[in-house]
Amino acid sequence: MSIIDQFDLTGRVAIVTGGTRGIGLAIADGLAAAGATVVPTSRTASDVEAARKRVESHGVESLAILTDVTDDGDIESLFERTANTFGGIDIVVNNAGVNPSAALGCPEDVDSEGYDVTLDVNLRGAFRCTQEAAPYLNESDKGSLINIASVGGVVGLPRQHPYVASKHGLVGMTKSIALDWAPEVRANVIAPGYVATDLTTELRENDKLRQSIINRTPLDRFADPEELAGPVVFLASDAASYVTGTCLTVDGGWTSK
């Protein structure tokens, strides 16, 4: 197989949670451009429908399915409907994530609701999707699980304790899954640095904070969401056939400083 063909995802079926905005939408778009059938899902009907159309603009199939990753029934139905419609599932990207203001601050300032929501979406949601994905990924001979963590899953970040706890958990969970599922299914995690999405709007609008992040980033800027698509396509593809249990930082060099 040529090196270019190794990146071809034609015939594979992918689910992307939180695949309707920001990084998730860019990932769904990238997987579709590489030939995969993609189901981009979230809690907002209009966004799910728009994402379905964007996927289909690449000439591949899609489905509009609403999913809240904190709802077990939603998750079960997402996997069942996708597999029933397309005959299986080969790629799962656990991307849905939040960092609510109620979970920011020093540990003593964080309220329990902010803590619970952050852990429920970022960690438990990814875990429940992973459980539902298990039979399908095991049945596929190209099964690939990709979790989207953060540099906050690799190092500490001040005043973001629940988020950092959830993302460290996600990195550790992915490494354990890679052990349990090898050699049939590969599992990897990506740790993005600072990306220009809705999640970082407040940060980017604060001149002092934005500049301090840029100053600490060797590549001198925030990432565009599209810059996360290539790493996901790589990890999903045959080009990464010997890559499992790894945490790939995509952070413009932020953690190298």
Give the residue numbers annotated as catalytic, written as ranges: 163
Least separation in angstroms between residue 125's CB and ligand NAP is: 6
**Closer to ligand NAP by Cβ: residue 140 or 254:** 254
CA pair distance 228, 190, nearest whole angstrom: 9
CA atoms of 147 and 84, how far apart (whole Å): 24
For ligand NAP, the closer of residues 43 and 216 by Cβ is 43
CB of 199 to ligand NAP, least distance (A): 3
Cα 141 to Cα 4, 22, 35: the distances in Å are: 20, 30, 17
Residues that bind ligand NAP (CB under 6 A): 17-18, 20-24, 42-44, 47, 67-70, 95-98, 121, 148, 150, 192, 194-195, 197-200
Instruction: Give the C-alpha separation, 226 to 171, whole Å.
Output: 22
Decide whether 195 or 236 has the Cβ nearer to ligand NAP.
Answer: 195
Q: Are 170 and 147 in contact (CB under 8 A)?
A: yes
β pairing state of 186-192 and 91-94: unpaired
Q: Which residue is nearest to ligand NAP (CB)?
A: 97
What letter does residue 119 receive in the DSSP assignment? H
Shortest distance, position 174 Cβ to ligand NAP, whole Å: 13
Residue closer to ligand NAP (CB basis): 49 or 111: 49
Least spacing, CB of residue 240 vs ligand NAP, in Å: 19
Residues 6+ away with beta carbon under 8 Å from 70: 117, 120, 121, 124, 125
